[in-house]
Amino acid sequence: MIIDKLLSPAIRRSLADFTVSTQTITPPGSGQSGVMDLGAARNIGLLSKPYGPGWDINFRGGTSGGAATAQLLLVTDDNAALSSPTTLYTSPSFTLAQTVKGDLFVPVPDLDTYERYLAWRIIVGTAVFTGGTLLIEYVADMRRYRAYPSQGNR
């Protein structure tokens, strides 16, 4: 997980890293768990509005030897191991064609079920992905969100 100067957590993973199962999305090679610690149980859904805060989710270049599908879950639990998580949000199932270039914005759900820890999980079904990327980035206000130019655009 990367946290930039605006304290926006982001996770970028290769779709090929996931097996056909349900698993927590973790940052690659960082040794971090991918679980966000809110410090205490709280209702952050009261901050939500139609354009944020929320998560900007992007699939790019999904490939598979079969008909791979992906579904995302936002879960919360009282422990970092997510031993008994509560699902706050379930995305539609993304087909292989939708993972070639798919975008989704998920506003922070307005619920009273938030516990201390939040995490994204992915359910990969039917077949494994052989390529492509998944980017999940927290955005405070989608209407005013502007990506920083890449370092190569100087």
Instruction: Output the pLDDT for position 53.
Output: 78
CATH label of the domain that carries residue 70: 2.60.120.1110
Instruction: Output the pLDDT for position 100.
Output: 92
Residue 152: inside a domain, yes or no? no
Instruction: Output the pLDDT for position 3.
Output: 47
Residue 96: inside a domain, yes or no? yes
Instruction: Output the pLDDT for position 124.
Output: 96
Residue 92: inside a domain, yes or no? yes
Instruction: Output the pLDDT for position 148.
Output: 58
Number of domains in the chain: 1
Instruction: Give pTM, 2 decimals.
Output: 0.80
Quote the CA–CA distance of 54 and 137 in Å, as a whole number. Answer: 8
User: Cβ(120)–Cβ(27) under 8 Å?
Assistant: no
Residue 150: inside a domain, yes or no? no
Residue 153: inside a domain, yes or no? no
Residue 64: inside a domain, yes or no? yes
> For each successive 10 residues of the chain (154 residues), what is the average pLDDT?
55 92 83 77 57 82 93 93 92 93 84 84 94 88 59 46
Quote the CA–CA distance of 118 and 76 in Å, as a whole number. Answer: 4
Instruction: Output the pLDDT for position 30.
Output: 59
Residue 60: inside a domain, yes or no? yes
Find tokens 């064609």 and name the residue: 97
CA triple 60-63-67, angle to 5 deg: 120
Domain of residue 78 covers: 2-142
Instruction: Output the pLDDT for position 46.
Output: 45
Residue 149: inside a domain, yes or no? no
